Amino acid sequence: MAIIREIFLGFIKVHILHHASEGEICGVEMMEELKRHGYAISPGTLYPTLHLLEREGYLKGEERLVAGRRRRYYRATEKGRKALEEAKVKIRELVEEVLE
């Protein structure tokens, strides 16, 4: 269902901001993290999401060469951390109401 995908992508963005606020993240690590939570997300979904968050100023990326491969590492910007804090309040409020 399309609505489930939209909801899922919203939560993925929040999850990305959460981890990027705690420290550096890269796409491969985020796919593993999400898989650990039971979500199989393809690179074709994750990387455009990371690029969008960077383009919109929520993440700051930096390319590095790691074991002969180029990897992009991301950290949350101040804008990203503020968005995360706002999202937490809204998520808590909505989830508490829905799960009552």
Q: Domain count of the chain?
A: 1
Give me Rg for the CA atoms of the chain: 14
Task: Note whether 31 and 15 are within 8 A (CB).
Answer: no
In terms of phi and psi (left: phi > 0; alpha: psi -120 to 50; beta: otherwise), the region of 24 is beta
What is the tens place of the pLDDT at every residue in 57-87? Answer: 999 999 998 888 899 999 999 999 999 999 9
- Planar angle of CA 31, 35, 38, nearest 5 degrees: 145
Residue span of the structural domain in which 54 resides: 2-98
In this structure, what CATH number is given to the domain that contains residue 59? 1.10.10.10
- Planar angle of CA 67, 72, 75, nearest 5 degrees: 125
In this prediction the pTM is: 0.89
The pLDDT-based confidence of 12 (bands split at 50, 70, 90) is very high
Distance CA 5, CA 65 (A): 33
What is the tens place of the pLDDT at every residue in 14-49? Answer: 999 999 999 999 999 999 999 998 888 999 999 999
